[in-house]
Structure 1
C-alpha cells in the first residue's frame, strides 16, 4: 500500500458519497453517539432492555481510534457504521441506513469511506459478517464490493431480540475485503465482481436448489463447481412462513457451510441468487 493508493481510495469515497447525496464523517461527541444509537434503534428495533450498543461504549471506541462514523442527509443522521481494530486489520461490526435511503447506494458510499479510512492508516484488510440467506446482502458484499467469504459461522450470535433477527438462528458468513486487491480496486472504480451460472464450466453441479413449491432440495457436490441457491426474499419468508425459512437455514448450513468447512472457495454470488463454489483443488489432487 502506498500514498497514491490511499489518495485514489479517498477520491473514490468522495465521489461515491457525492453520488449518494450524503456526507460521511467520524463521530466524537457523546451527543453524536446518542444520535447514532437512535439511528440503530430505528433500523433494528431492538428490545428496549437489550440495546445493540450504548453511547458510552461508542465513545470509547471512537476515542481509542476505531472507525465510528455517521451518515448525514438533509441535516439529519440517517446511517451509522462501527468498525474496531482486530487481528486481521479492521472488523466492521455494524452498519445500517434508514429505509428512506435504501437503494440509493448509501451503503456503497459508506464502504468506500471505510476503505479509504483504513488505507490512510495502512490497514489493508477489513472483515465483517452478514446473513448468508439474504440475497441482496450477498450480492452487495461479494459482487459490488468484491469481498471474499472466509468462514461459515453457525448461529454465531445465538438468539437475538431485535425485530430484524428475532425468531431465526443467526448463521453468518465471515468475509475478508482485501482493500488493495483486484476486486476491491475494481469496486472503487465502479466495476463489480460479476460471476454467472453460464460461465461456471462444464463440470458444474447444483448443490442446493428450490423445489417447485419453494422448499430447498439438496443436490450433488461432486463437480468442479458447485452452485448453491438461496431464496430471493428470505426476510419476507421469515414473516410469512417461518418453518420454511428454517428449512432454508438448515439446508444452507449443511451445503454451503459444509463445503466451506472442507476448504472449498466461494468465488462469487450471481445476480439471480446463486453462490458459486470452486472445488477444483480437490478434484485435481
Structure 2
C-alpha cells in the first residue's frame, strides 16, 4: 500500500477500499470547498504565517493590544500536534482556525477560534476552513469536534446548525466573562456549545453541498413561540410548553450592540431564559430558521 500523501495537513491515500472511504470523501469535500472559495487551506507552521494569523485574529476581534491568540501559543499548539490552519489567497492569509485536543478519554477536538477577514464575507471561506478541520481530524482518528459560539449571532447559528449540521448541546451563560472587544461589546459572553459528529450521515451530506443550496430547515410551522420579535424590534417572550418551539434572535446583534446596547442586553436575557428553560426540560436544538430563529423539539 502506498504511503499517505499530505495535502495541507490532510492525510489520505489512493486506495479507499483498503483504507477509510469516509476520510477520503471528507478530504475530497474539503478540497472542493477550498477550490469553490478560491483559497488554499493549509497547516500553519512557519513564523511568518503564524504571525499573520495573530495579526488577522487581532484585527477581526478589534484587539490589537491584546490579541485573542499569540505567536508563542500558536507555535506550541502546532508543535504539540493540535490544529492550526489558515486560508490563503496567494501568500496573503485571509482566514485562520485553531483547535486543541480534549482529554484523551474524550477523543475530540475543541475548535477554539476561527475567523475570516471581513472583506472576504460571502466567499464561503469559513466553510472551507471547517471542512479542512473535519478532514484533518478524521484522518487522525478523531470523530468529534466541539466549539462555542454566541447564540445571538444569527449568521453563525445558521452556519453551524444548517450549513455544517452541528448540534448545540449546552447553553453556557457568561462563559468567558467580560471580553471588551469589537465583536462582543461589554455585555455577558453567553455561548452555545455545539458538537459536530464528523461521521454522521447528515454531516457528510451537508459538507457535500456548496454555496447556499441547503436542505429546508426543520419545519417550524405550528411551533410554539418561546421568544418572538415585537413590532418595535424587542424580544417578545412566549411559552415554553410546545412540542416544537422557536426562539428568535436579532437579525444583526453586532449592529444592535453599537446602536442600542440596552436592547441588545434585553435580547440576551430573553434568549438565555428561553433556551436554558427549554434545554432543562429536555428539548434539543434541531434546526435554525432564518426567519424565526432556533427550532427546538421536546424529547418526550
Fold similarity call, TM over 0.5:
yes
Alpha-carbon distance, 1:263 to partner:
2.6
Deviations 1:169-190 (A, max 9, x none): 1000000000010221111111
Contact 1:133–1:234 under 8 Å retained in 2: yes
The answer on whether the counterparts of 1:82 and 1:92 sit within 8 Å (CA) in structure 2 is yes
What's 1:51 paired with? Answer: 67
TM-fit CA distance, 1:248: 0.2
Contact 1:128 1:175 in 2 (8 A): yes
The yes-or-no answer on 1:7 pairing with 2:24 is yes
Structure 2: distance between partners of 1:138 and 1:99 = 18
1:252-271 maps to which residues of 2 (within 5 A)?
252-271=271-290
Could you say which residue in structure 2 is the equivalent of 1:233?
Answer: 252
SS in 2 for 1:79: strand
- Tell me the residue number matched to 1:195: 217
Q: State the distance in 1 between where 2:221 and 2:184 align.
A: 37
1:200 CA displacement: 3.4
Q: Which residue of 1 aligns with 2:157?
A: 138
Give the distance between the partners of 1:47 and 1:8, measured in 2 at CA. Answer: 39
Q: State TM-score, norm by structure 2.
A: 0.88
Structure 1 CA distance, aligned partners of 2:110 and 2:198?
A: 13
Look up the match of 1:212: 231
- Offset of residue 77 of structure 1: 0.7
| Residue 79 of structure 2: aligned partner | 63
Counterpart position of 2:94: 78
SS at match of 1:46: coil
CA distance in 1, matches of 2:182, 2:77: 26
Report the Cα offset of residue 193 of structure 1: 5.0
Report the Cα distance in structure 2 between the residues aligned to 1:30 and 1:212, rounded to whole angstroms. 52
* TM-score, normalising length: structure 1: 0.93
On the 8 A contact 1:195/1:268 being kept in 2, the answer is: yes
1:13 offset after TM fit, Å? Answer: 0.3
Question: Does 1:31 find its partner at 2:31?
Answer: no
Q: Report Cα offsets for 1:82-141 as digits up to 9, x if no partner.
A: 011113500100000101111110000111101100110011100000000010000000
Deviations 1:149-173 (A, max 9, x none): 0100100000012211121210000
Contact 1:147 1:183 in 2 (8 A): no
* Contact 1:152 1:261 (8 Å CA) reproduced: no
Say whether residues 1:17 and 2:34 are aligned partners. yes
1:268 offset after TM fit, Å?
0.7
Inter-partner Cα distance in structure 2 for 1:231 and 1:265:
21
**Preserved contact between residue 164 and residue 203 of structure 2 (Cα < 8 Å):** yes
The answer for unaligned runs of 5 or more in structure 2 is 1-18
Q: Flag the 1:114–1:95 CA change in 2: closer, same or farther, 3 A.
A: same
List, as ranges, runs of 4+ consecutive aligned residues in structure 1 with deviation greater than 6 Å: none
8 A contact 2:185–2:257 mirrored in 1: no
Distance in 2 (CA, whole Å) between partners of 1:235 and 1:95 is 17
Q: Find the aligned partners of 1:11 and 1:234 in 2 and give their Cα distance.
A: 35
Larger RCO: Structure 1 or Structure 2 (Cα < 8 Å, ≥ 6 residues apart)? 1
SS in 1 for 2:33: helix
* Whole-angstrom CA distance in 2 between matches of 1:132 and 1:10: 29
